[in-house]
Structure 1
Amino acid sequence: MKKILTLSVLLLITAALVFAGGQGDSSSAPQRTFVTIGTGGVTGVYYPTGGAISKMVNQKYDDYGIKATVESTAGSVFNVNAILAGDLEFGIVQSDIQFQAYNGTSDWKEAGPQEKLRAVFSIHPESVTLLAADDANIETFEDIKGKIINIGSPGSGQRGNAIDIMNAYGIDWETDIKVESLKPSEAAKMLQDGRIDAYFYTVGHPNGSFKEATSGTRKAHFVPITNIDDLLASYPFYAASFIPISEYPNATNTADVATFGVKATLCTSSDVSDDVVYAITKEVFENLDTFKGLHPAFAVLTAESMLTGLSAPLHDGALKYFKEVGLK
């Protein structure tokens, strides 16, 4: 009986040592971290952008222990608020919305400056784009008066852009047009069904929504947005841009269309770990050629250009990487 008891004790001790050894081995592995990247509508460029970033990070799970997922959201304003509330770790945000949030203007006038907001890097340029049905008789921007115009859902950056340019033209968006507040994924069908005359969308090109909207039986064209000097002087985050008509062979335009735009940026909070932000920044920048091949809108990217258009402070994790490689 004593021998059996002694043997049992020895077996228990051995099992405990083996378990402890296993525990010691696992402590050397990276701690698991789950992050969510807020994007935008599924027809825009934000959603595949978030998918591209998460794919690159998830491939290095054994190195970093980071598991990234993507969430389709209402857009930039939503993403900023969700980041600051801790509901998202990262979000893709228009550069103008980043500026407004950090400085406490526009949607954050009452709440004040969102000082925990941090920039990671900028991504593709986005053009403020207005597409109109040919039979709506909207040839110039001023022609939108009295028409049914979709300006985007509340909480989207495109809605703010649309209001900014209408204000610049002296058009009261609440009284001079008939407003719809649809998501871009709904707008193309509504245009083709004759339920709206035109719609705004701030997005990188080429874009699926505009390809759909210009490929139906109701012919459509992009409306030029010119006379923007005062707008650009008032808002430093805007820049002149154009819509490459070669990407939309079914649109009735015959040349590139002038407009203006912003940049898409990856944002986070100062509360997010430096190690996590460093790892994500490193994977994107060290595999930039791969990243650029994931969407046509990324073709113009360079490491240097991805540090422009940032109006919130860089996150310490991103700054650490940029200093290491001589970008800062």
Structure 2
Amino acid sequence: MRMWLICVCFFLALHTSAQEKEYITVKKTTELMGSRFDISVVDVNEELGYISIDEAIAEVNRINKMLSSWDENSETSQINDNAGIKPVKVSLELFRLIERSKQISEFTEGAFDISFAAMDDIWKFDGSMTEIPSESEIENSIRNVGYQKIILDEKDKTVFLKEKGMKISFGAIGKGYAADRAKELLVSKRVKGGIINASGDLTTWGTKANGEKWMIGIANPMSKDKIFSWLPIVESSVATSGNAEKYVIIDSKKYGHLIDPRTGYPAMGINSVSIFAKSAEICDALATAVFIMGKEAGISLINQFGGTEVIIVDSDNKIHKSGGILFETD
């Protein structure tokens, strides 16, 4: 049986020769939001390209200062610090992001939930865990989880976590949101094209320097240089969630690091999920949700979204896809 996984691949043309302007691709790799960001832009010269990239980096850093739960001065930390105590007035930008996060939670029946941050760290994926947590430990770990307990006041733009001990985190949506905002900034500055890759949360606009579409490849991990199928992405985004790197094996059973916030147990039955949509924010959130929901429920969910597609690799390494993905599998 072949084993296929999803990986994001793209070729960057260095220049063109038959256009009115000669464009080049400028790329920079840096660490932002605790993750690797690869930012590539298509521009008329290297200097302008790097200026644009630095502006995108500044935008991501701005968002991180708002969303980071590690920064005690962030709006997110203020919300968490006042859990069960009082509502916190926040910026309209953060209010709307939390509002959208709750809507995604409702649509996914809690498979996506920014309040998952309150779960105790009882699952260890650093090699130290030798047995699974007890039922009581798992029950305790989810006692303060629940998007319904995030109270939003539209009039005053306040956020209130109903129970003491509750926390929110944007780990499953924040990088996608930041990629979207950085892209929006560069598009507003008339940057011809580019790719922002936030550790697998990828968004594109425009074309490559030679005018061709950006492409992603479905690759065989046993032969990473061999591409199974190419898919064009035009003004679009992709995000992938998987358990290939962070997992633990106990009593011959594999437990991945993606925990179902509703049960406290790791999601089972899927190796990877790749979501294709216009927004990197949506891709980021839905990749996590579908992984947790499972292939049947996940594909059914995606089929209800306009302009959104999914490729799932199950635990038997079989590929499943939504109706808009056009390639043959075997």
Higher RCO, Cα 8 Å, sep 6+: 1
- Normalized against structure 1, the TM-score is what? 0.29
* Bigger Rg, structure 1 or 2: 1
- Normalized against structure 2, the TM-score is what? 0.29
